[in-house]
Amino acid sequence: MIKHFVRFFSPGTLLSEQTDKPVKKWDTKEALKILPNIEERYGAKPYGFCFVTYARGDEDLDSKQTACSGMYYIDAKVETYEEIVKRNLPEEDVLRSNMKINEIKKVVTNGPNSKTYHFCVPLEDEDVILS
């Protein structure tokens, strides 16, 4: 048995809130249709989503995740380490330090039209920015 899901991520207090919804296949158009109906605690709206696939064999008691896509970020802005260092904002001291120590070259943050709380996460090679 194989099942596909879209997993939405919304800003949380310490970690991102996650909501999984079943889908027929990995389809960004279908995920974007579901997106407006997702709301987490305190009215947080998703900043992105990924697709996951779970499978279970005839002899398996539980299913396990067998595949996961990169993230699809919604109305997000990509910023480089150099840009963040150049503007040198005091409130970004920890961000600059974390990026340097962990060798993070780019982060994704809220875009200008974002309808959710602030978020900032590393941008991975397989990630996609949706406008």
Q: How many angstroms separate the most distant Cα atoms in the chain?
A: 57
Q: How confident is the model at residue 61 (pLDDT cuts 50, 70, 90)?
A: confident
Q: How confident is the model at residue 58 (pLDDT cuts 50, 70, 90)?
A: confident
Please tell me the predicted confidence (pLDDT) of residue 118. Answer: 84
Report how far apart, in Å, the C-alpha atoms of 7 and of each of 1, 19, 24, 61, 96 are.
Answer: 19, 6, 13, 23, 29
- Angstrom distance (rounded) from CA 121 to CA 50: 14
- Angstrom distance (rounded) from CA 3 to CA 61: 15
- Angstrom distance (rounded) from CA 127 to CA 104: 14
Tell me what the mean pLDDT of segment 71-85 comes to: 95
* Two structure tokens written together for 5: 């899901």
Q: In which residue are the tokens 């997106």 written?
A: 35
Give the H or E element holding residue 27. none
Please tell me the predicted confidence (pLDDT) of residue 102. Answer: 97
Q: In which residue are the tokens 């974007």 written?
A: 32
The predicted model scores a pTM of 0.89
Domains of the chain, residue spans:
2-73, 74-130
**Strand, coil or helix: 111:** coil
Q: What is the mean pLDDT of the chain?
A: 93
